[in-house]
C-alpha cells in the first residue's frame, strides 16, 4: 500500500527564518514524489517533482530513500509563502496525498 | 489556455437531491481524476479514469458515480446527496506516465 504522512498540520515561522515541511512515505516500488501548493481558496499547483530536482520559488526537496522522506525546505521564508502544502506520491496510476501542512509566515 | 475547467464553482443541495459535477480538460490528457478535499484529511481519491472508456474506484467511492464521456470530459454524480458529502471537489488530469496532475479550480458543495 502507498501512504504519505505529513506530521505537522500547522507550521508557523517568522519571515526570513528557514522553513522545513516534513513528508514521509511508504511505498514498495520506486517512488515518484511531488509537492503541491494551494494558496487561499485557489486550485492546487505543482511546486516540485523529485525527478526534476529543480528549485521553485526558493523551495527545494530531496528524496531520501533510506529515511523514506521528501522534506520541503526553504532557507528564508517570505510572507507570500503562506499556503497549504501537500506532499504526494505517484503509484499505480494515481496520486496519493498527505494530509497537508498549513504554513503561516509571520511578519 | 483553459487547462482543467470545473462547473459549477459553488452548489448548495438539500439532502437526497442529485447533481452532476462537470469537468473538462483541453490538454489531450489520457487520465482524469476526482478528489475531495476535507480539513485535516488532505485530498482523497473518489474515482479515476486512466484512459477513455475506463473508470476505477479510488479511496472513497461510496455515494458517487462517474462517467468518462469522452477523452475531454469526466463527470461526477451524486445520486442522493448526504451532509457527509459536503466538501470541496477537485478534478485533475494527467498525461499518462508524464509529470504531475493539473487541477481544476474546485467545486465547493454544501449539503444541508
**What is the C-alpha separation between A68 and B49, in angstroms, rounded?**
29
Lowest model confidence (mean pLDDT) among A52-56, B12-16, B32-36: A52-56
In tens, the pLDDT along A47-83 reads 988 877 777 899 999 899 899 999 999 999 999 999 9
Helices and strands, counts by H and E, chain A: 0, 11
- Indicate yes or no: CB of A86 within 8 angstroms of CB of B43: yes
Residue B78 CB: number of other CB atoms within 10 A?
Answer: 20
> Smallest CA–CA separation between A80 and chain B, in Å?
20
Helix (H, G, I), strand (E, B) or coil at A81: helix
Chain A residues touching B99 at Cβ < 8 A: 46, 49
Hey, are the CB atoms on B101 and A46 less than 8 Å from each other?
yes
What percentage of chain B reaches a pLDDT higher than 70?
96
**Residue B9 to residue A101: CA distance in whole angstroms:** 24
Q: For residue B34, which residues of chain A lie inside 8 Å, CB to CB?
A: none
Among partner residues B40, B44, B100, which is closest to A49 by beta-carbon distance? B100
**Closest-CA residue in chain A for B59?**
A96
Amino acid at each position: 500500500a502507498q501512504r504519505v504522512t505529513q506530521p505537522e498540520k500547522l507550521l508557523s515561522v517568522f519571515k526570513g527564518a528557514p522553513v522545513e515541511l516534513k513528508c514521509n512515505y511508504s511505498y514498495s516500488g520506486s517512488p515518484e514524489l511531488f509537492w503541491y501548493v494551494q494558496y487561499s481558496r485557489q486550485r492546487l499547483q505543482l511546486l516540485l517533482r523529485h525527478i526534476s530536482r529543480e528549485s521553485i520559488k526558493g523551495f527545494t526537496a530531496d528524496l531520501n530513500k533510506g529515511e523514506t522522506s521528501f522534506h520541503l525546505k526553504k532557507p528564508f521564508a517570505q510572507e507570500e509563502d503562506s499556503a497549504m502544502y501537500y506532499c504526494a506520491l505517484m503509484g499505480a496510476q494515481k496520486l496519493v496525498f498527505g494530509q497537508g501542512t498549513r504554513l503561516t509566515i509571520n511578519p | 489556455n483553459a487547462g482543467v475547467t470545473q462547473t459549477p464553482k459553488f452548489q448548495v443541495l438539500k439532502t437526497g437531491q442529485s447533481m452532476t459535477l462537470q469537468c473538462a480538460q483541453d490538454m489531450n490528457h489520457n487520465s482524469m481524476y476526482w478528489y475531495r478535499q476535507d480539513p485535516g484529511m488532505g485530498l482523497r481519491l473518489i474515482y479515476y479514469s486512466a484512459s477513455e472508456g475506463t473508470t476505477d474506484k479510488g479511496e472513497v467511492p461510496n455515494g458517487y458515480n462517474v462517467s468518462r464521456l469522452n477523452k475531454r470530459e469526466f463527470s461526477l454524480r451524486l445520486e442522493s446527496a448526504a451532509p457527509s458529502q459536503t466538501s470541496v471537489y477537485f478534478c485533475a488530469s494527467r498525461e499518462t506516465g508524464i509529470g504531475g496532475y493539473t487541477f481544476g479550480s474546485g467545486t465547493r458543495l454544501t449539503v444541508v
